[in-house]
């Protein structure tokens, strides 16, 4: 089922190809480090393959053993050249997809430098085949931005779906669960005992170790994933016996949402206005003022300041 490429490697630019020094802190396309295994494919000495095909005139295909061997060698060389071409097309497709994710236009010279290499005379064919793959397989159209500078972008041919992520519900249900927990934490004065969190969730039919069709294993999701992703903090409450633990907002929650937003969420749940909880409302207002004052660039500092 898997087409195992003969040398087990896709062409990777060798160390010898100088990497642009100007890309100092910037991310490098595809492969950057000299330590990457140089592609065995490139080591196959490209001239050999295509040269062998060109050599046709030199020896006549005949039935003599020597002629038969020459013919076999030529066929093999041609096949290798084709396979190499296929792999270059495949790598160009991947390169274009990766570059497109960063929304930066791709130049022809980048493509030649990092993917096509010395097959650059075949650039028109390679890019045409890559474009066809992109269209048929992924639904992207490769468009040349301008003829003079040879820059390209990918255009998504699939119709955009509004709020696709929410409709998908991929992260949706889990983030919804997180909102419930953030809400509880906030309403309880910025920290909630672990027991309280599980009590609330139990009321929603969610039990810690029972597999849930939307959340997976809730205990793992909350105690590990959410904590690791810095949405929640989890710590031991000092001087409690038996020892109790509590949750509070993690730094990522402070960045991605706000007290006002969470209060709004809680209010909607209870079909009331945020002002219904004057203490929390005042605190949320103060939080909004702080954020406005701090501004985007020092937001990180501001959120820890709020604690």
Partner 1 sequence: MQGNTRRTGIMTDVHRRFLQLLMTHGVLEECDVKRLQKHCYKVHDCNATIEKLEDFINNINSVLESLYIEIKKGVTEDDGRPIYALVNLATTSISKMASDFAENELDLFRKALELIIDSDTGFASSTNILNLVDQLKGKKMRKKEAEHVLQKFVQSKWLIEKEGEFTLHGRAILEMDQYIRETYPDAVKVCNICRSLLIQGQSCETCGIRMHLPCVAKYFQSNSEPHCPHCNDYWPHEVPVFDPEKERETGMSRSNKRSLRSRQH
Q: What is the 3-state secondary structure (H, E, C) of 123-147?
A: HHHHHHHHHHHHHHHHCEEEEEEEC
Under rule CB under 8 A, residue 161 binds partner 1: yes
Handedness of CA 256, 175, 275, 281 (dihedral sign): negative
| Residue whose pair of structure tokens reads 């509880």 in the numeric block | 184
**Toward partner 1, which CB reaches closer, 138 or 265?**
138
Under rule CB under 8 A, residue 32 binds partner 1: yes
Under rule CB under 8 A, residue 18 binds partner 1: no
Under rule CB under 8 A, residue 179 binds partner 1: no
Of 52, 70, 77, 89, which one interacts with partner 1 (CB under 8 A)? Answer: 89
Residues 103-132 that bind partner 1 (CB under 8 A): 128-129, 132
- Structure tokens, 208: 């810690």
The number of helix segments (H) and strand segments (E) in the chain equals: 14, 6
Classify strands 106-107 and 151-156 as parallel, antiparallel or unpaired. antiparallel
**Toward partner 1, which CB reaches closer, 87 or 150?**
87
CA-based radius of gyration for the chain: 30
CB 59 within 8 A of CB 67: yes
Distance CA(74)–CA(69), nearest Å, equals 9
Q: How far is the CB of 170 from partner 1 (least distance, A)?
A: 5
Distance CA(92)–CA(126), nearest Å, equals 8
Q: How far is the CB of 240 from partner 1 (least distance, A)?
A: 18
Under rule CB under 8 A, residue 170 binds partner 1: yes
Under rule CB under 8 A, residue 238 binds partner 1: no
Residue 191: partners with Cβ closer than 8 Å, 6 or more residues away: 185, 246, 247, 248
- Structure tokens, 227: 């904590």
**Toward partner 1, which CB reaches closer, 167 or 237?**
167
Beta bridge partners of 17: none
Of 16, 26, 146, 162, which one interacts with partner 1 (CB under 8 A)? Answer: 26
Q: What are phi and psi of 156, to 5 degrees?
A: -80, 120
Q: How far is the CB of 78 from partner 1 (least distance, A)?
A: 16
Residues 44-73 that bind partner 1 (CB under 8 A): none
Q: How far is the CB of 247 from partner 1 (least distance, A)?
A: 15
Of 2, 58, 63, 296, which one interacts with partner 1 (CB under 8 A)? Answer: 2
Question: Which residues sit at the interface with partner 1, rule CB under 8 A?
Answer: 1-3, 5, 8-10, 12, 24-33, 35-37, 86-87, 89-91, 93-94, 97-99, 101-102, 128-129, 132-133, 136-139, 156, 158-159, 161, 164, 167-170, 209-211, 213-214, 216-217, 219-220, 223-224, 228-230
């Amino acid at each position: 089922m898997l087409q195992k490429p003969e040398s087990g490697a896709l062409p990777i630019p060798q160390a010898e190809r100088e990497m642009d020094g100007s890309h100092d802190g910037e991310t490098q396309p595809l492969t950057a480090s000299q330590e990457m295994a140089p592609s065995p494919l490139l080591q196959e000495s490209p001239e050999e393959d295509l040269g062998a095909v060109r050599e046709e005139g030199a020896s006549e295909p005949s039935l003599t053993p020597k002629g038969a061997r020459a013919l076999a060698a030529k066929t093999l060389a041609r096949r290798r050249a084709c396979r190499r071409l296929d792999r270059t097309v495949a790598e160009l497709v991947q390169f274009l997809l990766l570059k497109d994710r960063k929304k930066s236009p791709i130049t022809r010279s980048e493509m030649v430098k990092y993917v096509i290499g010395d097959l650059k005379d075949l650039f028109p064919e390679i890019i045409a085949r890559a474009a066809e793959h992109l269209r048929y397989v992924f639904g992207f159209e490769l468009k040349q931005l301008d003829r003079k500078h040879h820059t390209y972008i990918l255009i998504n041919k699939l119709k955009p779906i509004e709020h696709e992520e929410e409709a998908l519900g991929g992260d949706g249900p889990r983030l919804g669960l997180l909102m419930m927990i953030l809400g509880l934490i906030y309403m309880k004065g910025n920290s909630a005992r672990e027991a309280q969190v599980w009590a609330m969730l139990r009321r929603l039919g969610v039990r810690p170790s029972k597999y849930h069709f939307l959340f997976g294993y809730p205990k793992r999701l909350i105690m590990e994933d959410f904590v690791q992703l810095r949405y929640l903090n989890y710590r031991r409450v000092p001087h409690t016996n038996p020892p109790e633990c509590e949750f509070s907002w993690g730094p990522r929650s402070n960045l991605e949402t706000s007290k006002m937003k969470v209060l709004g969420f809680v209010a909607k749940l209870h079909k009331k206005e945020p002002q219904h909880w004057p203490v929390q409302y005042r605190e949320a207002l103060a939080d909004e003022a702080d954020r406005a004052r701090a501004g985007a660039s020092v937001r990180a500092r501001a959120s820890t300041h709020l604690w």
